[in-house]
Amino acid sequence: MLAVVVLAAAGIAVPAANATEESAPRGTSVAPAAVPAHAVTGYWQNFNNGATVQTLAEVQDQYDIIAVSFADATSTPGEVSFNLDSAGLGGYTVEQFKADLAAKKADGKSVILSIGGEKGAVAVNDDASAGAFADSAYRLMQEYGFDGVDIDLENGLNSTYMTQALKSLSVKAGSGFVLTMAPQTIDMQSTSNEYFKTALNVKDMLTVVNMQYYNSGSMLGCDGKVYSQGSVDFLTALACIQLEGGLDPSQVGIGVPASTRGAGSGYVEPSVVNNALDCLTQGTNCGSFKPSKTYPGLRGAMTWSTNWDAAAGSAWSNAVGPHVHSLP
């Protein structure tokens, strides 16, 4: 999504019974908080690409879910690791990162590990890689205290084996597991697409799909009409596909860049995001497209990234955050 496009321009759980089999060192044991009914998700950059460098402690308070970007692929298919870019982040240490993560959780936030990004080459295509994914992701949850994972795989996804991996991870993680996804618009145009199928396959454990409404080009809405990115209609007519395609409203969020520098295209003013939220939840402030019904349980909104938001004076989170949190 997220990482490469942005670079070019400058989408703890209670362990299960088998947790004792894991040998990874344990991080802090702060209990997971429930994700709010209406939540704001923000991606935190584990690298410096010109946006404001932040510690986790400095992430704006409006964010309910913080997706740490990104996990790294290893030489073992499906396996993921996490390597804090201490040098790029001004000497931020692993110890301080863990302490900041625990403090965010104690403040009621969910902190998850994002898998992928546009360059993320994590392949889960068979039983072995599905197992490696689940085992390694769970070890990282234990070591750092992550509440779950975000799936942001933009180079192909096998619904059969990713479903298998996520169900296995959920069993390991137990209650409080947070699972988010950040597909591109093309990935959610039809329920026959692998990403959409995966979301439906794990619907019983899925927290939210924050589709990337940017770097997209024009796409079909649920009414069969073509809509251009950067408009309220683009946000609402494409969200409608997910809402009518089987996801619960609580599992749908609107993903947008925090500033014009956050993506190559598709930026909209925060007021447009708020209008789209109103249109979908209450039937007000719509553009030319108006859904046939309202979805008051809509989860909320996401942005790439908390760092680009900070670089723009936190204008996005200051406008969209209170609006999301005030939804009925």
The residues that are catalytic are 154
Q: Going by C-beta distance under 8 Å and a sequence separation of 6 or more, which residues neighbour residue 160?
A: none
Cα–Cα dist 262/267, whole Å: 8
Cα–Cα dist 255/305, whole Å: 10
Of 70, 61, 45, whose CA–CA distance to 262 is shortest? 45
Q: Going by C-beta distance under 8 Å and a sequence separation of 6 or more, which residues neighbour residue 224?
A: none
The H-assigned helical ranges of the chain are 2-9, 94-106, 127-144, 159-173, 194-201, 232-244, 270-282, 306-311, 315-325
HSE-up of residue 165 (Cα within 13 Å, Cβ side): 35
Assigned token pair, 275: 């209008």
DSSP string, 276-320: HHHHHHHS-S--S---SS--TT--EEEEE-HHHHHHTTTHHHHHH
176-202 residues labelled b (16+ CB within 10 A) or e (exposed): bbbbbbbbbbebbbeeebbbbbbbbbb
Name residue 221's amino acid.
G
Assigned token pair, 16: 């299960």
